[in-house]
Each structure stands twice: as C-alpha cells, then as structure tokens.
Amino acid sequence: MEIQLWRNLLSPYELAVRELVVKFNHIIREHKEKDLYSPMEQVIGRVKSIASILEKMQRKGIPFDRLEAEVEDIAGIRIICQFEEDIDAVVSIIQKCSDMEIKYEKNYLINVKESGYRSYHLIIYYTVQTIDGPRRLQAEIQIRTLAMNFWATIEHSLQYKYKGNMPPHVRERLSKAAAAILLLDREMSSVRSEIMDAQNFSQLQTNLVADILNNIENLYKFSSKREVKKIQDEFFRVYESNNLQQLERFHRQLDIITEGYRAQAVTKEFMA
Ligand code: 0O2
C-alpha cells in the first residue's frame, strides 16, 4: 500500500487517539477539581506503527480488506493506575461513557498470560467526525497499574530485541520479576487507604491554596494594599502551620471578607 493511502487510513485513528486522551485526562482533572481521588493516574495514546500493523497482519494472516476489522488496536490508549483496585473503577467509568461502546473485554489479571503479562483490555467502538462524515472505529484500551506497566514495558523491549527467540534464562528472570510485581501490587494495596489519605490531603491543600490566592488577588480590586498585605501575612502564618482545618477556616473567612468588599464596591457604584 502506498504511503499516502496509509496516511489516509491512519488519520481518523490519530484523531480518535487525540480525542480519547483529552477525554480521559479531563476525567482525571474533574476528580482533582472536586477533591476526589482519581483512579486514573496517567493516560497515554498511540497509533500503531505501519511496521507493527504489517507484522500483525502477517502473523495472523489478515488480508488488506480485513485490516480495519481485524487489527483492533490501530488506535491504542493506555490508562495507568496506582492500585490494582483502581482498574475496576476505571472500567466502570468507561462502561458509563455513552460515546464508547464496548465490543469485548480481556481480563489478563485473572487469565494471566504465559509470559506473566497482566493488564485489563477493552476493545471499544468510537466514532470520529471526518470531512467524509462519521467514522466508527475500533480502539484498544489497556488498563494496568504502574508496576504492571513497568514490567510490560521492559518485557516488550526484550521481546522486540529477541524477536520471538527469548533465551530461557531471560524468560525465567522476567517470570520471577512478574511474580515480584504481583507481590508489590498486593503490598501497595494493603497501604492503599493510607496513601490515598495522604494524597487527598495534598490535593485538598493545593486546591484550597489556589482558591485563597485567587481571592487575595481579587481583593486588590476592592481593598487597600495595606489591608490585603495584612490578610496575606495571616495566610502565610496559617499555611506554615500545615493544619488543613485552619486553612479551611481561613478560606471560609476570606470568602466572607471578599464578598463583603465586593458588596461595598457594588453599592458605591450604584450610589455614584
Ligand atoms: P504494540 O502496539 O507494540 O503494543 P497479539 O496476538 O498478542 O499481538 P491480540 O491477540 O490482538 O494481540 O491481543 P492481545 O493479546 O490482547 O495483545 C494486544 C496488546 O497487548 C499487545 O500489542 C501488547 O501491547 C499487549 N500485550 C499482550 N501480551 C503481552 C505480553 O505478553 N507482553 C507485553 N509486554 N505486552 C503484551 P502488540 O501487538 O504487542 O502491539
């Protein structure tokens, strides 16, 4: 197939990958803005390389006219989670997305591959808009933990290096590493609630500080510099105490003060 035809073929998949990455990143952002723990840690996307598509077609005996129907991972999304428990939460989120229709799921967490590969795969249908009208495409979503991703990335590079002839001693080491990764995920799960508490604390603090600084900046419009400086100094004092409750209290008080100044400014404008 000519390179221009490959470009035409892959172009809607590039759009699908870009859109899906934006959508999943937005879900992460929404969680953070609402001070909620996000089961998604990171999202990456890629369009399968032509070489990799050709290799898969050859290996599976797929003819060109069946390429788009049978190579289901031309568009690939990878969602990385912190904990194994988050994978189910991510699957539930995707099941609720009305613009993604699940074709089928492969659970390599239960049916671990012989290589030791663990991950959760979803094949979805996703529609993109092109100048020729809507195109309903397939995409593969891989959901795995940071630890699973670490193992899979290394193993994938070694598979590429040895091209299907991995020496038994390397295979054995990878198998041992896969067992260690399983243990690591279980260990991390056992301290999940503590880690989540710490992360929630930090996210809540980040959002509060951003809100407070925004309010202080707004105060400059309505109040004297001296007054704002006093409030700012008080904020630094509360911030240094590293006490979330005090910070929340300060945030509430500042909200009231800002509203007061704003109301005064509106009244002055009205009376003028
Ligand atoms: P890429 O783009 O390089 O990642 P297959 O027959 O395995 O090629 P199949 O049956 O369509 O593919 O689906 P499967 O088994 O779910 O695998 C799809 C993708 O999952 C692979 O894509 C890998 O990304 C990943 N994967 C599956 N098995 C393994 C494994 O043992 N080790 C690692 N590291 N990854 C695996 P590709 O085709 O490799 O392409």
Q: What is the spatial distance between Cα 200 and Cα 192, in angstroms, rounded to a whole number?
A: 12
Residue from 46, 156, 160 to probe ligand 1 pocket by mutation (most atoms less than 8 Å from CB): 156
Mean pLDDT value of segment 72-79: 98
- Cβ of 31 below 6 Å from ligand 1: no
For residue 136, how far is its CA from the centre of ligand 1 (angstroms)? Answer: 22
Q: What is the reported pTM?
A: 0.84
Q: Whose CA is nearest to atom 2 of ligand 1?
A: 48
Task: Tell me: pLDDT of 272 over 70.
Answer: no
Helix (H, G, I), strand (E, B) or coil at 100: strand
With a cut of 70, say whether residue 255 has pLDDT above it.
yes
Element of type H or E holding 124: strand 120-130
Does residue 154 surpass a pLDDT of 80? yes
Q: What integer is the mean pLDDT of 53-60?
A: 95
Q: Do residues 239 and 67 touch, judged by C-beta distance below 8 A?
A: no
Mean pLDDT for the chain?
A: 93
- Minimum mean pLDDT range among 22-31, 116-125, 208-217: 208-217
C-alpha of residue 15 to centroid of ligand 1, in Å: 22
Per-residue pLDDT reduced to its tens digit, 190-247: 998 888 888 888 888 999 999 999 999 988 888 888 889 999 999 999 999 888 899 9
